[in-house]
Amino acid sequence: MPAVSKGDGMRGLAVFISDIRNCKSKEAEIKRINKELANIRSKFKGDKALDGYSKKKYVCKLLFIFLLGHDIDFGHMEAVNLLSSNKYTEKQIGYLFISVLVNSNSELIRLINNAIKNDLASRNPTFMCLALHCIANVGSREMGEAFAADIPRILVAGDSMDSVKQSAALCLLRLYKASPDLVPMGEWTARVVHLLNDQHMGVVTAAVSLITCLCKKNPDDFKTCISLAVSRLSRIVSSASTDLQDYTYYFVPAPWLSVKLLRLLQCYPPPEDAAVKGRLVECLETVLNKAQEPPKSKKVQHSNAKNAILFETISLIIHYDSEPNLLVRACNQLGQFLQHRETNLRYLALESMCTLASSEFSHEAVKTHIDTVINALKTERDVSVRQRAADLLYAMCDRSNAKQIVSEMLRYLETADYAIREEIVLKVAILAEKYAVDYSWYVDTILNLIRIAGDYVSEEVWYRVLQIVTNRDDVQGYAAKTVFEALQAPACHENMVKVGGYILGEFGNLIAGDPRSSPPVQFSLLHSKFHLCSVATRALLLSTYIKFINLFPETKATIQGVLRAGSQLRNADVELQQRAVEYLTLSSVASTDVLATVLEEMPPFPERESSILAKLKRKKGPGAGSALDDGRRDASSNDINGGVEPTPSTVSTPSPSADLLGLRAAPPPAAPPATSGAGNLLVDVFSDGPAAQPSLGPTPEEAFLSELEPPAPESPMALLADPAPAADPGPEDIGPPIPEADELLNKFVCKNNGVLFENQLLQIGVKSEFRQNLGRMYLFYGNKTSVQFQNFSPTVVHPGDLQTQLAVQTKRVAAQVDGGAQVQQVLNIECLRDFLTPPLLSVRFRYGGAPQALTLKLPVTINKFFQPTEMAAQDFFQRWKQLSLPQQEAQKIFKANHPMDAEVTKAKLLGFGSALLDNVDPNPENFVGAGIIQTKALQVGCLLRLEPNAQAQMYRLTLRTSKEPVSRHLCELLAQQF
């Protein structure tokens, strides 16, 4: 920075600031400021031209007044004039004033932009840095549009000074974060990667920040950075503290750069090159080795810098999840931090070990620290650390330690903080179910859970225990006996009464032989709790009483007396009154056989997945660990519901008692007759029957659709249509698709336009549009050579039964394609039925006398006929429940192949064709969509739910449609996009 001359002290500014500080009251301050503003205004308006020093001094005073909170409505032009000065201090003050006071809508913005352009073109590094700092500080879209193309050029220019490169990288990063669409990706992207090899560490640090941000949106453009980042990291890690003296922080070489490089590597999978991977593994081992060395300083800054690199290294090891040795070493290192005196280190160690526990390579190593974690749960004073300890116990739990962990968590629950009790309850319930070998232990655990923390036991928990008891014949008697004993406690939680009412109503007969639990005793025990319960619980108990009449006829008179009581028949609550009246009439009028049929035992529940997991996911939010996903998989594979899931033909129709107890969803209502209103389009969507044809007048959309329909054979238009080729090749006449055909097809699942294929001879572009079950596709064939293509023949081939599922009408193209020319082919497409395989595009031609042939997969997938559908949350969940049969759902849990970005995910889902529904999923990080697959034969309703887990870099995708093949196929198509 240039030296400040003697006259730059600005004594007048110092005196003014001193006067302001010496003011005794607000009024005195305002009076002094107004006097100064009047003086400055007169100076600016005077006839005598001010010199640069005076302008700078007065502009500084205006800036100080503005920072005191007073409005400034003049002086802007003088500040802009300072930008043209050749003195550093004057130009600096001008840029400072503009950065603070000038907004993007100012009339002076064009003058400012011209001054900035002049400074950027001046090749004076000091002036260039000032201009770049101003652009970054203002960061407006207008400035981005003006300079986004110039800054990359300055960044990669060979003659740019190091300070300019550093400022340019950070300025470009600021513009990219503000307006990503303004920063053009071009040849500079390949050159900016090589800045990682720059000699100046400041340039490398700024470049890493820029590349890390850019590669999240365009990972393929920056793949080459992996080897360079590993190389630079290796040099830093292996260097001594004296090698990088200017960038050594408390004996730790370049800690900020090291952390940034490690984060950059987490944007990509492990390196494919064996040499690069080996060098990276060596770096990670060196960091772990250095963590074991005695500290070189006792100051906290040294340990903070050292631990920052260590934790980022462990994050990278966890991200790769492919090096068992490193994972175990990382786990052991974190284990040492579990008893560290620093609370923050203990917290971070517990958090990282939660992720390590989900890896198959390090799970056993994590389990060795179970005693330390249990001790932390009991003794930690910080509630956030205790919560992380509970998370880790949940993550490390398996069949070998389930009983120990569950008992410890139950013991902790008695004294746990109120803020985390519900979460602990959910985790205990999930673990008890997931690892229940002895189901009597599961019943004991859940009842104990209700006893200890009944207020925090959500409906999902006690619903679940009822489902499992209903589906397990071997535990029903034990559950009835246990809940009967629990209800005898003087103080009994209402959730215990609900569980007891349901289980005794269904299985009370299994313990009725014991005089201590005879039917009258069971009834009197339940009825003693009746008046202390809420309306919902009393309604459930009334349903239990009518069940008792069926199970134990000897209690009929007693129960009818209760139902006949005025407090029931004239109850102020309409639900209780209606139940009492109906149950009394049913027990009086119906015969024993009819009563037994109406009040038969509940059938097994068809649910295959625990709803508690979803509850815990909502409770944990987006940071939930991958252990939740593992829990989902294991819980569903445990077969805890008892037996094979029923097929559609074996699902029992819920008996009236199911509705009375309110524990099962009502069967889907019959669809009302289709009407001609467009608003009722969804009525029959979720059935396999043919779609109702609404009789509406022609709309612009229908005009488009009719335009796409092929002309009828007898119409005059048919005579004008190009005749089909005499003998199109069949699937057996063409070669197999090229190896990258699937990859090329996947790029078009969520978009309609782009380059489908390109080599040194030919480029094939695609532009398409789809509405309802019709589509039009334009294929552009470009000859990239200077030689004419002969016998050019592109044809569409339908493999297998696709001819009956998809109709494609093609227009012929010219047989000769001149060098450098492009021809267009139009395809009219009609979806007749749902299909799984795309049509093939066979392109044959002669180039230089040699025959050329290639086969591609035409980018026509079933989701192209997706019509987005908006619906309210209530409608969504109603339809979701209607599509609850196992064969109607497809679910996939998979690792993210690209950086997880909410906006990119939203764009892909919209491109996939579904409507995104806001405020439907309780977790705002999840995505919920709905739509209709339009075919000529029928409409297939589709609901989807995508749950990202940013911490574990995993997704869970669930699709439900009314057709099994469609669910599976859509799930596979969409999963490949993430």
784 is in an annotated binding site: no
Residue 53 lies in a domain: no
- Among 598, 615, 644, the domain boundary falls at 598
What is the SS3 assignment for 198?
coil
- Among 556, 580, 598, the domain boundary falls at 598
The DSSP line for 769-786 is EEETTEEEEEEEEEE-SS
Q: What is the Cα–Cα distance from 357 to 826, expressed in whole angstroms?
A: 55
Q: What is the Cα–Cα distance from 108 to 102, expressed in whole angstroms?
A: 8
Give the up-direction half-sphere exposure of residue 102: CA atoms within 13 A in the CB hemisphere. 30
Q: Does residue 803 sit in the same domain as residue 946? A: no
57 is in an annotated binding site: yes
367 is in an annotated binding site: no
813 is in an annotated binding site: no
Name the more confident of 680 and 212: 212
CA distances 316 to 365, 430, 595, Å, are 18, 30, 65
Name the most confidently modeled range: 10-14, 506-510, 685-689.
506-510
- Asked whether the CA dihedral 809, 811, 815, 816 is positive or negative, the reply is negative
Q: Does residue 763 sit in the same domain as residue 855? A: yes
Indicate the residue type of 830.
E
Residues whose CB falls within 8 Å of the CB of residue 604, separated by 6 or more in sequence, listed in order: 470, 471, 641, 642, 643, 646, 652
The pLDDT-based confidence of 104 (bands split at 50, 70, 90) is low
pLDDT of residue 640: 39
276 is in an annotated binding site: no
Average pLDDT over residues 85-95: 89
Q: What is the pLDDT of residues 274-284, one digit of tens each?
A: 999 999 999 99
Average pLDDT over residues 767-774: 88
- pLDDT of residue 633 exceeding 60, the answer is no
Structure tokens at 633: 């998989």
pLDDT of residue 618: 64
Q: What is the Cα–Cα distance from 182 to 180, expressed in whole angstroms?
A: 5
Structure tokens at 594: 């009819």
Residue 335 lies in a domain: no
Residue 718 lies in a domain: no
Indicate the residue type of 913.
G
pLDDT of residue 502: 93
Q: Does residue 507 sit in the same domain as residue 560? A: yes
- The CA-CA-CA angle for residues 700, 702, 705, to 5°, reads 115
The DSSP line for 528-555 is HHHTTS-HHHHHHHHHHHHHHHHH-GGG
Mean pLDDT, the chain, rounded, equals 81
- pLDDT of residue 677 exceeding 50, the answer is no
60 is in an annotated binding site: yes
Q: How many domains in the chain?
A: 3
- pLDDT of residue 733 exceeding 70, the answer is no
The structure tokens 């193209």 sit at: 813
Name the more confident of 1 and 860: 860
Residues whose CB falls within 8 Å of the CB of residue 609, separated by 6 or more in sequence, listed in order: 632, 635, 636
pLDDT of residue 105: 67
Name the most confidently modeled range: 91-95, 709-713, 785-789, 899-903.
91-95
Q: Does residue 876 sit in the same domain as residue 787? A: no
- Contact, 828 vs 809, CB < 8 A? yes
- Contact, 761 vs 785, CB < 8 A? yes
- pLDDT of residue 639 exceeding 50, the answer is no
- pLDDT of residue 543 exceeding 90, the answer is yes
Q: Does residue 446 sit in the same domain as residue 564? A: yes
pLDDT of residue 607: 56
Q: Does residue 849 sit in the same domain as residue 889? A: no
Residue 959 lies in a domain: yes
Q: Does residue 856 sit in the same domain as residue 868? A: no
Q: Does residue 879 sit in the same domain as residue 851? A: no
Residue 97 lies in a domain: no
Residue 247 lies in a domain: no
11 is in an annotated binding site: yes
CB atoms within 10 A of CB 364: 14
Q: Does residue 443 sit in the same domain as residue 587? A: yes
pTM for this predicted structure:
0.58
Q: What is the Cα–Cα distance from 379 to 390, expressed in whole angstroms?
A: 12
pLDDT of residue 715: 35
Q: Does residue 474 sit in the same domain as residue 533? A: yes
Residue 763: which CATH number? 2.60.40.1230
Strand 248-249 to 840-847 pairing: unpaired
Q: Does residue 553 sit in the same domain as residue 460? A: yes
Residue 120 lies in a domain: no
Q: Does residue 487 sit in the same domain as residue 570? A: yes
Lowest mean pLDDT among 105-114, 257-266, 293-302: 105-114
Residue 947: which CATH number? 3.30.310.10
The domain of 503 spans 437-598
Residue 828 lies in a domain: yes
- Among 803, 836, 860, the domain boundary falls at 860
Name the more confident of 101 and 583: 583
Lowest mean pLDDT among 505-509, 527-531, 604-608, 830-834: 604-608
pLDDT of residue 347: 92
